[in-house]
Amino acid sequence: MTEPIRLNDLKANFKKRIQSLLPEGGNLDMCYTCGTCAGGCPASGLEGMDPRKFVRMVLLGMDEEVMTSKWAWMCTLCQRCVKACPMNVNIAGMMTEVRAAWPRDQKPSGIVKSCDMALTTETCSAMGASVEDWHFVVEDVLEEVRESQPGFEDLQAPMDKEGAMYFLNQNSREPMTEPDEMVPLWKILHKVGADWTYGSKGWAAENYCLFMADYEDWEKIVRLKAKAVDDLGCKYWLNTE
């Protein structure tokens, strides 16, 4: 027979750690399990878990269950729960703290590999696409659209245009696996006459290091991307992710 959990024996260390994630004067005990967070969560029900249950586990001091929960990796960090919570509890922040505490070799391999790959190239691509690969795909797709789609003979997909108003990022999987998916946005920017450009460097929109809670590498990638924008003198950074 399973031994019952004795609440008096639990230390609730994780609860103490995440107090800083609350607004000034906040108290995690003010959560009254209304379920608003769970109602809008895309990960609710997975692994039999949802944000409301997770917060209750934290409150009850169930640190072992909290820190080993695979559900923390199913959270999209969309922050719907944070926006909806009447008590302003930062549940997404809790998920990040749990992920950061996991040993690196136990974190989901796909996220780890994507983070590592982005650090190997100036493009920051999680697919490892080089500057040359990126140029080739954009130029090839652009040429095909111009030749095959009436009305878009003068469609542009500028690269490294200095002083452009907008620096556009792109999900790094699209150029490698679904390059045609880039075209609709090109057409929108073309129709409205937007002054935009891609960059040879730092163009990949996603940052998997954020999702694995590797703060050092996350910051490194953000700085590389921001530098690419600044180097071209663009005013706005459009991130599609």
Domain boundary among 54, 72, 102: 102
Please say whether the dihedral angle defined by the alpha carbons of residues 167, 126, 94 and 45, taken in this order, is positive or negative.
positive
Same domain flag for 12 and 119: no
Same domain flag for 121 and 231: yes
Q: What are phi and psi of 28, to 5 degrees?
A: -60, -30
* Sheet with 236-238, side-by-side order of all strands: 196-197, 166-168, 236-238
Domain boundary among 65, 87, 102: 102
Query: Full-prediction pTM beyond 0.85?
Result: no
8 Å CB contact between 30 and 82: no
8 Å CB contact between 79 and 86: no
Same domain flag for 135 and 223: yes
How many Å separate Cα 94 from the centre of its chain? 15
Q: Where are the beta strands (DSSP E) in 68-182?
A: 166-168
pLDDT score at 5: 46
Same domain flag for 120 and 65: no
Same domain flag for 130 and 232: yes
Domain boundary among 79, 102, 125: 102
Residue 33 lies in a domain: yes
Same domain flag for 140 and 217: yes
Joined together, the tokens standing for residue 79 give: 């922050």
8 Å CB contact between 197 and 160: yes
Same domain flag for 98 and 113: no
How many Å separate Cα 166 from the centre of its chain? 21
Same domain flag for 120 and 41: no
Q: Which residue has the tokens 């590999």?
A: 113
Q: How many domains does the chain have?
A: 2
Same domain flag for 37 and 129: no
pLDDT score at 21: 61
Q: What is the mean pLDDT of each run of 10 residues along the chain (241 residues)?
A: 50 68 62 88 92 88 89 92 85 89 93 96 95 97 97 96 97 94 96 97 95 94 96 95 79
- Parent domain of 232: 109-238
Residue 1 lies in a domain: no
DSSP β-bridge partners for residue 238: 168
Same domain flag for 143 and 231: yes
Q: Alpha-carbon distance 211 to 115, whole Å?
A: 9
Residue 2 lies in a domain: no
Same domain flag for 89 and 122: no
Residue 44 lies in a domain: yes
Same domain flag for 129 and 71: no
pLDDT score at 7: 44
8 Å CB contact between 215 and 100: yes
pLDDT score at 184: 96
Q: 225, 238, 143: which is closest to 189 by C-alpha? A: 238
